[in-house]
Structure 1
Amino acid sequence: MVVGDISTGTDVAVIGAGPGGYVAAIRAAQEGLDVTLVERDAYGGVCLNHGCIPSKAFIHGADVAHEAGNAEELGIHADPAVDVAQMQEWKSGVVDRLTGGVEKLCKANGVNLVEGTATFADENKLRVAHDGEGQGSESIEFEHAIVATGSRPIRIPGFDFSDDPVLSSRDLLAMEAVPDRLVVVGAGYIGMELSTMLAKLGCEVTVVEMLEDVLPGYEDDVKRAVRKRAEELGIEFHFGEGASGWRGTPNGVVVTTETEDGMETEYAGDAVLVAVGRQPVTDTLELGAVGLEPNEDGFIETDHQARTEVDSIFAIGDVAGEPMLAHKASKEGVVAAEAAAGEPAALDYQAVPAAVFTDPEIGTVGMTEAEAEEAGFDPAVGQMPFNASGRALTMGDSDGFVRVVADAESGFVLGGQIVGPEASELVAELALAVEMGATLEDVAATIHTHPTLAEAVKEAAENAMGKAIHTLNR
């Protein structure tokens, strides 16, 4: 029996329950609006279920095993045995706890939850198809809609994720055993995070990358620290080579690469991980029904309130453009929800931090020195190496540095780059400095706990002022 079509109404319809969508739904409900959140897969989206959280769980597990097995200098001698199936079970428990929490938070805030695939019927109506035979569909009329459908891994020609040896990041994070050998296509942040994690778990990793270095978009000294550590872990890099095909063998897979001048090379592994980036999911929405069309990069264009060209429709997160970061999606969700409620909310992207969970970690925010010069500033730059940090040395993790970029005339902090232990945490201080318009003197005059890694941020600010104590001034 097919359930008949029903029709309901809501103030705000949110499509997608990832870190952008569920945050938007909760904030809109807090603003007193009736909210309906439609999700076709799992609450928490890719981030909580198949991306950010699972990968960080495995990265932490790999770090624990690697540190325990490589601490002879500290007088610790161990040969840890890694049970990946048990690690997978632990990871799943973390995911279940977080996704269950999202569902409970939505319900506690009065958000109506609907499972199914939403498409636009017109500028004020959605059609939601429910999964399962005989489940039917429903129509939802809305005053405002917020599109938060996220992204999916980019496919490259000749590499279909439906083929067993060809893995996406989602496939890899569902593994029950570590492959002995893996060919990784792509040395961006996803490829580097997963390659580093696998190497620490004992996998022989070969990375092929079309560009000439790892982590495009980051400064050379930042990339150099990460690449050096990866090579020490045994990761083998081949730059200037694009993956052109693969074939199965009795022992796994052979990946063929090709250079710009046509030179071919083959690399063997048990499987191949394709990690060349992500693309926005817009093809499920029937955007044509409301007169919207993605731009040439596949994104839905929005204004300072995350509003599209159609006044009743907002777009947030990965579908709305770079940077494709969960915390950026959440911020856009808050702004879109408040704008839908009539609040004067607006987006400001100058202080959006980014983190890469490699070894060492990377944390960046705001402008680099080159970007500051290009923007017309006379940059004052200060740096503190972690090999001069007492806390970093006591952790046995002293590679990298903190760098602060400021305007020389006013002292206002413009940005910062951190590569080293806990960089993803330390960058929050610099993000706050950029957001609030703090100066170098503000950061330097703030008393930091000793001994901590955070002292390096203070020292870098003092270095930019020519007043550093624990490192030589420039």
Structure 2
Amino acid sequence: MSSFDVVVIGSGPGGYVAAIRCAQLGMKTAIIEKYSTLGGTCLNVGCIPSKALLASSHHFQEIQHFADHGIEVSGEVKVNLEKMIARKQAVVDQTSGGVKFLMDKNNITVFEGLGSFESATTIKVTKNDGSSETIEAKNTIIATGSKPSSLPFISIDKERVITSTEALKLKEVPKHLIIIGGGVIGLELGQVYLRLGSQVSVVEFADRVLPTMDGAVSKEITKVLKKAGMKFYTSHKVQGVERNGDVVIVKAENAKGEIITLEGDYSLVSVGRRPYTDGLNAEKAGVKLTERGQIEVNDHLQTTASNIYAIGDVVRGAMLAHKAEEEGVLVAEQLAGQKPHIDYNLIPGVVYTWPEVAAVGKTEEQLKAEGKEYKVGQFPFKALGRARASADTDGFVKILADKVTDEILGMHIVGARAADLIAEAVVAMEFRASAEDITRMSHAHPTFAEAIKEAALAATENRALHV
């Protein structure tokens, strides 16, 4: 029986990063992956392929406005969805192959098959051909991730009623795509197909899309997407989804009790994700699950079995790839006797629509609920020279700072390159910076980052210079 210091179950961003860090710290490490490719949901059917399609569809949208820049394109511009999907898959394959390279580079043993506990220290790996082998693990890190959720009355047939996985490999551009759920996944994939020519309708139970983000952010991205043609039905509770041939019928009830009926050729169910522990046999190892199906962990991400840890989507907290990575590193360093720390308040959240949406720290709604005295500084991208030059004037930067100490409590961005800009906020908040601290730092001109400095100036005695 092969024996390892650490065995990681699951090769997503949390799992493979945990394995690399364990190997770097001198531990004999193995990783178990049930699928034939490494990288988990993120690399194969999540973050990477969706960003590839977002990029391709963005190019298609931009080329239609080249004339505004004095670039004349003759002939009809067409979408070749088959080629677009093929490019997406090539990006996925290259990225997954990169993870395999990293496993080899760090001398990490890879087992392909379903990993399930026989005991707290032994794991059975069942391969696709039915054969199996058992390995021994001094410590185990569970990183089995999540799967798309649904509603009890919805039958997902993966043909017309689909999840994000199927939406990434459609063979045709939908005529009318009805999206159930106005969260990150719904808006991102909705914008992909909106750009390619689909009519897109979003049905959301909450009173706004992106309900966990700052209200101003939600309002702004809704305005931008509405202008582009996306339709929203917020405060609507889905009552039923039926398929009749190539037609999908979605019925939903609004706040007044009225029933609306939407008909489309595809319906994307994007109502969140659930922790994935199927086949793990956690109980055999003494690992307890919560009522929500998550693996129960303490502040050190240790499960109810002292030598077994869990990270990422399968435990509490935001289901974000970079959150899982941080947790993977934390567990590895703890096993090596170090004392790492994660501040979950400083894990940024990003929506890769265009304009992008990014946030870190507290929302204005949260600060109000906590009774915290705060001040707001906001600056619109339309007042920025770089934004006008690039024709990316939608959105703003919003900074929330403590009213007394001026410490930055949260930053919320809707705009071009927001996903990259939010890193400045994370660094500032990690070092407990004040809004004034940012105002004292030189920001290159002309850049999108100048909007952050201007928002900080606005939060500091309303001193913004360019509005």
Give the TM-score range, shorter chain: over 0.9
Q: Cα distance, 1:260 vs. partner?
A: 6.5
* Residue of structure 2 equivalent to 1:115: 112
Whether 2:20 is the aligned partner of 1:26: answer yes
Q: 1:180 to 1:376 in 2, by over 3 A?
A: closer
Q: Cα distance, 1:309 vs. partner?
A: 2.4
CA–CA separation in structure 2 for the residues paired with 1:356 and 1:384: 20
2:238 aligned to which of 238, 243, 248: 243
Q: 1:36 to 1:250 in 2, by over 3 A?
A: closer
1:109-188 mapped onto 2 (5 Å cutoff): 109-133=106-130, 136-188=131-183
* Residue of structure 1 equivalent to 2:415: 420
Aligned AA for 1:33?
A: M
* Residue of structure 2 equivalent to 1:90: 87
**1:163-221 per-position Cα deviation (integer Å, ceiling 9, x unaligned):** 52111101010123211221111111111111111101101112222222211112222
CA–CA separation in structure 2 for the residues paired with 1:47 and 1:269: 28
**1:242-269 per-position Cα deviation (integer Å, ceiling 9, x unaligned):** 3333333354322233447764332111
Count residues with an aligned counterpart. 464
* Residue of structure 2 equivalent to 1:4: none
**1:90-111 per-position Cα deviation (integer Å, ceiling 9, x unaligned):** 1111111111000110110111
* Residue of structure 1 equivalent to 2:278: 283
* Residue of structure 2 equivalent to 1:39: 33
Q: Cα distance, 1:421 vs. partner?
A: 1.1
* Residue of structure 1 equivalent to 2:312: 317
Whether 2:6 is the aligned partner of 1:8: answer no
Aligned-residue identity in percent: 39
* Residue of structure 2 equivalent to 1:345: 340
Q: Which range moves more in the overlay, 173-182 or 382-391?
A: 173-182
CA contact (8 A) 1:181 1:270 kept: yes
TM-score (normalised: structure 1): 0.93
CA contact (8 A) 2:205 2:234 kept: yes
Aligned AA for 2:379?
A: M
CA–CA separation in structure 2 for the residues paired with 1:99 and 1:216: 32
CA contact (8 A) 1:182 1:206 kept: yes
CA–CA separation in structure 2 for the residues paired with 1:370 and 1:258: 26
Aligned AA for 1:9?
A: S
TM-score (normalised: structure 2): 0.95
Q: Which range moves more in the overlay, 399-408 or 8-17?
A: 399-408
1:256 aligned to which of 236, 240, 251: 251
CA contact (8 A) 1:415 1:431 kept: no
Q: Cα distance, 1:443 vs. partner?
A: 1.5
Long gaps (5+) in structure 2? none
* Residue of structure 1 equivalent to 2:186: 191
* Residue of structure 2 equivalent to 1:3: none
CA contact (8 A) 1:304 1:346 kept: no
Q: Cα distance, 1:468 vs. partner?
A: 2.9
CA–CA separation in structure 1 for the residues paired with 2:208 and 2:235: 8
CA contact (8 A) 2:162 2:266 kept: yes
CA contact (8 A) 2:213 2:363 kept: no
1:191-210 mapped onto 2 (5 Å cutoff): 191-210=186-205
Aligned AA for 2:405?
A: S
1:454 aligned to which of 443, 449, 453: 449
CA–CA separation in structure 1 for the residues paired with 2:342 and 2:303: 14
CA–CA separation in structure 2 for the residues paired with 1:165 and 1:470: 52
CA–CA separation in structure 2 for the residues paired with 1:375 and 1:270: 45
Q: 1:92 to 1:408 in 2, by over 3 A?
A: same
Q: Cα distance, 1:26 vs. partner?
A: 0.3
CA–CA separation in structure 2 for the residues paired with 1:103 and 1:349: 29
CA–CA separation in structure 1 for the residues paired with 2:277 and 2:401: 39
* Residue of structure 2 equivalent to 1:396: 391
Q: 1:244 to 1:132 in 2, by over 3 A?
A: farther
Q: Which range moves more in the overlay, 114-123 or 378-387?
A: 378-387
Q: Cα distance, 1:291 vs. partner?
A: 2.5
Q: 1:380 to 1:144 in 2, by over 3 A?
A: same
Q: Which range moves more in the overlay, 292-301 or 111-120?
A: 292-301
CA–CA separation in structure 2 for the residues paired with 1:243 and 1:377: 36
